[in-house]
Amino acid sequence: MDAAPKTAAGTLAGTVTGPDGALAGAEVVVTGPVSRVTRAAGDGRYAFGRLPAGEYTLAVRAFGFLPDARTLTVVADEAGAADVVLAVSPVRRITGSVRSDDGAPSAGSEVVVLGAPVDPVRTDAEGRFALALPVGSYTLRATGDGCWGAVAIPVAVDATDVDVEGVLNPERDAFGNECRTEAGTWLPGKDRVGSDTRVELPFPMPFYEDSYFSAYVRPYGLLDFLGGRYSWANTTLPDPREPNRSVFAFWDSLGAAGPGPDRYTATYGTAPHRVFVVEWRDAVVGLDSTAKVDAAVQLHENGEILLTYRGIDPDRELERGGSATTGIEDTWGTRAVEYSFEEPVLSDTTAIRFRVPGYATLTGNVTDLGSGAATRAQLTVKDDAGVAVWSGITNGKGQYSLRVPTGRYTVTASAPGWESRTFEADLTEAGRAQLHDVQLPSGKVSLSPSAFTVVVPPGEKRSYRLSVSNTGQASTPVQVTETRSSTPPFTDIPWLSAEPVDDVAPGGTSTVSFTVDASDLAPGKHYASLYMTTPVSGRITGRAVPVTVAVPAYHAYVNAGGPAVTDGSGDTWAADRPYTAGGSGYVGGQEIATGHPIAGGDQELMRFGREGMSAYRFDALPAGIYEVTVKLAEIRKLDPGERVFDIYAGEKPVASGMDISAAVGKETATERTVFVKLTAERNSLDLRFVARDGKRGPLVNAVRVVHRPDRFTV
């Protein structure tokens, strides 16, 4: 058998030098039939053994020098030579800034040039830094303190100086916790506590999904809300092993070379801005009996946590946290924000604040209205769409604290044996704690309805009726007062007035008549309560009936096919009219009417109708959420299936396959309502009616389009 043919090959060698001699470590690359990479030795020499014969590109580069590239040929069975002399590269000034995602300068951030023999630099107080780099392409990496991630900054250095910017993003856990460093404010503990002491918190403390009323002061620099096992052997965070559900101020083997630290607590401030402090004082760090530190956790009533320090020697790594862990961790050890792990980064002048951005806190006490005693109650928080976003139970002192995303909420407090209370909470300011105490009355009086949400056009009045029933055993006087919220103090509400009510007999019912006057109310949402106070069993109990008034910036009430009428609620429905640009009205169709009674509807409104129209159009609507209602009755007495049509408010379906006779019967009233959101400064809204193929034309008896400033969602 013949031997396999050998590839024709040669060699290549040479030296890489600069103006001052050999360039050790220079990168040498050949690219051709094959590619090879090597580096120059200490004497500048390089060599490639056995390169397949052919044409190659030889590229040489070294930090601080201009690169060189040339074409050469490797000849079979010959030793090629190529010496390269690199010219010194011009050096440019690289300046830049590092800032956080909120625009604040990031002082003290480390800036490293990746892959280049350049010493790191740190940013100044304005977040600025400066470097000198030869011409070339680089990647800078800027790293902030333990609260921030790193950012890569690409930079191309050529003929001019360069200025760059890097933006650091915070390190957040899956719950949304993050940390920030700030100037330290030391608040000392005042009351000494024992080893492994369970302490009652002066206020409920929100922490991850829950709120806590007590905590355990552990000897190794951590505060534990769980009461589980713990160890002096600190780890990185998160770690599923206990301790979990904790705040780690200085987790280390404190006291290993001497007595354990003294522990103190203190409370500062007034509700809802109180601060509870846990301090570890004169803590001996590790095995060095001369290394001591004071560390403290500050629990703030708004749910934020601050770690502060005192007595740290800036020249001693142990005191600066060189063997300690700092941060917070959840119940299961799966989410955490770690500020440091065995890094000497702590100081007297720097505090670490842990927070959940975009959240606000509501706190308070729930008590019995008559006696003032604490009540263990359930609190439920719902957003504007009626979706429950939080629920919890007060402690034995009636305290509660809840932390939710910023927004406006409806909060209900309830307990067996008491009437529930509902109030609105404006929690739109992030990081703020708001105080709202709740008084629950005993359940002797029944009110219907329990709340009113009404629409009153500007300049108009409306009257309403509230039924008060006595479920007790004795005649009960009822006093009606007004309040701006759902609790005292009572105050006169200019736009709300109620008539006095007679005593309510056992098993009886009285009626409270009240009026809402929008004569002086600007378009928008207005809120107050009627407060019913009754003496029951020697105690004064009360119940608030919320009255929410929406004063619309736009409203149109149309009696389709008929004249202007005023219905039983006092609303005026305009006579039907054709559409004109800039106004409102119908497009097409014909008027029809009946003299027969209409079941379930206002007779003067429902006995008229418009048939066969394509739309009602409304122009010049300001931005906002609108309630769109159509009132329907089959006044031609068509059988089911004869008239079927669709209704759309803009592109939103109001009714699909509407067959009035099939839905409610002939000469019987029904209605359909949807909410739509208009976003432009001025809007047009088409209420379209689309007949199904082969069916009689659409029919509508009344149309209402009204702005709803009390709603935030559709």
Q: What confidence category does residue 231 fall into, taking pLDDT thresholds of 50, 70 and 90?
A: confident
Query: For residue 415, what pLDDT is reported?
Result: 82
Mean pLDDT of 620-639: 97
Quick check: 118 and 133 in contact, CB under 8 A?
yes
Cα distance between residue 483 and residue 439, in whole Å: 14
Token pair 């308070």 is found at 364
- C-alpha 592 chain-centroid distance: 53
Strands 645-649 and 670-691: antiparallel
User: Does residue 494 carry a pLDDT above 70?
Assistant: yes
Angle (nearest 5°) at CA 336 between 378 and 223: 70
Calpha distance 621→545 (Å, rounded):
32
| Strands (DSSP E) found in 101-209 | 110-113, 121-122, 128-134, 136-143, 150-157, 162-168, 178-183, 191-193, 197-207
Which pLDDT value is given to residue 372? 81
Contact 214, 233 (CB under 8 A): no
What is the pLDDT, as a whole number, of residue 32? 96
In contact, 26 and 86? CB cutoff 8 Å: yes
Which two three-digit tokens encode residue 605? 């409104």
Please write the tens of the pLDDT for every residue from 256-267.
556 678 899 999
* Whether the predicted pLDDT of 338 surpasses 90: yes
Give the chain's radius of gyration (CA, Å).
39
At residue 259, what are phi and psi to the nearest 5 degrees? -65, 150
Render pLDDT for 519-541 as a digit per residue (tens, 0 to 9).
999 999 999 999 988 755 434 56
Nearest to 495 by CA among 485, 513, 486, 482: 482
CA–CA dist 327, 335 (Å, integer): 11
β-bridge mates for residue 700, sequence order? 610
Q: What is the pLDDT of residue 662?
A: 98
Phi, psi dihedrals of residue 4, rounded to the nearest 5°: -65, 145
**CA–CA separation, 224 vs 248, rounded Å?**
9
Mean pLDDT, the chain, rounded, equals 92
> How many other CB atoms sit within 10 Å of the CB of residue 681?
7
Could you tell me whether strands 336-341 and 421-427 are parallel, antiparallel, or unpaired per DSSP bridges? Answer: unpaired
pLDDT at position 476: 75
End-to-end CA distance of the chain: 86
Coil, strand, or helix at residue 249?
Answer: strand
Q: Which residue carries 């439920």 as its tokens?
A: 380
Please state, in angstroms and rounded to a whole number, the distance separating the CA atoms of residues 625 and 621: 10
**Strand 9-18 to 84-85 pairing:** parallel
Q: Mean pLDDT lowest for which of 32-36, 99-103, 456-460, 557-561?
A: 99-103
pLDDT value of residue 19: 94
Tokens of 635: 């006044």
**Strand 162-168 versus strand 91-100 pairing type:** parallel
Mean per-residue pLDDT, 573-581: 98
pLDDT reading at 218 higher than 70? yes
Which pLDDT score is estimated for 5?
Answer: 54
How far apart (Å, rounded) are the C-alpha atoms in residues 139 and 137?
A: 7
The residue-averaged pLDDT of 362-375 equals 85
Mean pLDDT to the nearest integer, 187-205? 92
* Model pLDDT, residue 357: 95
Helix or strand run (H / E) with residue 379 = strand 378-382
Hey, which residues does 191 pair with through a beta bridge? 265
Count CA atoms within 13 Å of residue 133 on its CB side: 29
Rounded to an integer, what distance in angstroms lies between the CA atom of residue 673 and that of residue 671? Answer: 7
Q: How many residues does the chain have?
A: 714
Give the lowest-confidence range in 5-19, 70-84, 223-237, 524-538.
Answer: 524-538
* DSSP one-letter code for 335: -
Share of the chain above pLDDT 90, in %: 82
Distance of alpha carbon 223 from alpha carbon 205, whole angstroms:
12
Tell me the residue type at 208: Y
| Domains located in the chain, CATH noted | 9-85 (2.60.40.10), 91-168 (2.60.40.10), 178-355 (no CATH), 363-440 (2.60.40.1120), 445-551 (2.60.40.10), 555-707 (2.60.120.430)
Coil vs helix vs strand at 284: strand
Structure tokens at 88: 């010194």
DSSP 8-state secondary structure symbol assigned to residue 686: E
pLDDT at res. 257: 58
Range with the lowest mean pLDDT among 53-57, 101-105, 625-629? Answer: 101-105
Please tell me the distance from the alpha carbon of residue 222 to that of residue 232, in angstroms, as a whole number. Answer: 10
Q: Residue 473: what pLDDT?
A: 55
My answer on whether omega of the bond before 243 falls inside 30° of 0, hence cis, is: yes
Span 63-83, pLDDT tens digits: 999 999 999 999 999 999 999
Alpha-carbon gap, residue 457 to 550, rounded angstroms: 8
Q: For 155-180, what is the mean pLDDT?
A: 93
Flag whether the pTM goes above 0.95: no
Comparing C-alpha atoms, which of 171, 173, 170 is closest to residue 330? 173
CB distance 510 to 468 below 8 Å: yes
Q: Is 660 helix (H, G, I), strand (E, B) or coil?
A: helix
- Overall average pLDDT of the 139-151 stretch: 92
Question: Could you read off the pLDDT of 422-432 as tens digits, one per residue?
Answer: 999 999 999 99
Residues 6+ apart with CB under 8 A from 672: 629, 630, 632, 647, 654, 655, 658
Please name the residue ranges forming H helices in 373-463. Answer: none
CB within 8 Å of 662: residues ≥ 6 apart: 640, 641
Q: Are 213 and 204 in contact (CB under 8 A)?
A: yes
Q: Within 10 A of 208 (CB to CB), how many other CB atoms are there?
A: 22
Q: Please name which of 605, 714, 591, 601 lies closest in space to residue 668, comparing C-alpha atoms.
A: 601
Pairing verdict, β 555-559 and 572-575: parallel
pLDDT digits (tens, 9 = 90+) for 276-294: 999 999 988 977 888 899 9
pLDDT the model gives residue 541: 66
Residue 610 burial (CB < 10 Å; 0-12/13-18/19+)? Answer: buried
Contacts of 466 (CB under 8 A, 6+ apart): 447, 448, 449, 452, 511, 512, 513, 514, 530, 545
The token pair at 361 is 């806190």
CA distances 573 to 12, 568, 650, Å, are 98, 11, 22
